[in-house]
Amino acid sequence: MIIRHRPLHPIRSSEITPKSVFDNRRAILRAMGFGGMAMAMAPLLGAGLGNPAQAAWRPETGKALSGTVNPKYTAKALGVEPTAYDLVTTYNNFYELGTGKGDPHENAGFLKPTPWSIKVEGAVEKPGTYDIDDLIKAEDIEDRVYRFRCVEAWSMVIPWLGVPLSKVISRLKPTSKAKYVYFETLFDPNQMPGQNRQVLEWPYKEGLRMDEAMNPLSLLAVGLHGEVLPNQNGAPLRLVVPWKYGFKSIKSIVLIRFTEKQPPTSWNEANGREYGFYSNVNPNVSHPRWSQAAEKVIGQNNLFGLPIKQPTLMFNGYEEEVADLYAGMNLRTFY
């Protein structure tokens, strides 16, 4: 099935919040006590999963959220400028909230991310249903700037707040049979009106090989641009795997399952010819309907108001960190 998308969300450059204004706004929030709230609560957290006395890391007032800055993944270290908050939160792929780029923002109010629990099952020593505040620890939250590349040949640079997936997996203690990690999105057409249409087989599902999940780059994101994750970006918990195409970043996660066999994934089931299980960013392998050699940078326009194009980097620029995961594999076959 060919999904037709609306044209690029029509945001004029004059409407984008200047970075200086946005940064000043965050400074004001910090001065009011919101910005450091999550980190201030870190000493109150229990030592283990499922501790009923464990304090929530999500602020009850305001949306500001803090994390420890990872110096390896800052805008300066990457030599990039983050995409404006207004664009990151209004130009999205989240089919559960609609197939148009602006639909997730428009329908975000339907999703209720509090309270939220995640079921853990499969080949793991600590199965169970966890409140998100038991699964995510405030002291583990990091501020990381990652490149984000969509298979539709557009890209952004996003400052995420999240916990390395490896830390969560290690605390859950998968068994030796766990070769893959499988994820599912919430299925609730009342909260996710896009699920009333059979665009995909719901619920949305995704998976990683265990070594991919344990790679230090893999992140469970709970925020972006210094704020709690907006609904339209996958609140309250989403996966971010920066060397893979964006559709691999499953949103609004409610299930994590550890499996011995390769799990099904939504886009691979919908059209395996175009969307492989691995979904690595590879400019040398074209999508059957368009090239992946270049990408439009959302938020960076030329004199004619059109997005600037730039060459696509192998593994989205993270080749040094992840190429060894695929040593000896034919990346045209395992795409």
Interval 168-192 mean pLDDT: 98
Which pLDDT belongs to residue 58? 81
Separation in Å, CA 158 to CA 19, 50, 85, 96: 13, 31, 9, 21
**Contact assessment for residue 168 and residue 220, using Cβ atoms and an 8 Å cutoff:** yes
**Contact assessment for residue 185 and residue 96, using Cβ atoms and an 8 Å cutoff:** yes
CA 4 to chain CA centroid, nearest Å? 23
Q: State the average pLDDT for the chain.
A: 87
SS3 content of the chain, % helix, strand, coil (to 5): 25, 25, 50
Domain 13-326 classification at class level? alpha beta
Separation in Å, CA 68 to CA 31, 58, 183: 18, 15, 26
> What are the structural domain ranges in the chain?
13-326
Interval 108-137 mean pLDDT: 97
- Between 1-5, 47-51, 175-179, 224-228, the lowest mean confidence (pLDDT) is in 1-5
Which pLDDT belongs to residue 23? 45
Per-residue pLDDT tens digits for 47-85: 345 444 344 778 766 799 999 999 999 999 999 999 999
Cis peptide before 203 (omega within 30 of 0): yes
CA–CA gap between residue 332 and residue 74 (Å, rounded): 31
**Contact assessment for residue 230 and residue 224, using Cβ atoms and an 8 Å cutoff:** yes
Confidence of residue 306 (pLDDT cuts 50, 70, 90): confident
Which pLDDT belongs to residue 60? 67
Which pLDDT belongs to residue 74? 97
**pTM of the model as a whole:** 0.84
Per-residue pLDDT tens digits for 241-255: 999 999 999 999 999
- Between 4-18, 134-148, 304-318, the lowest mean confidence (pLDDT) is in 4-18
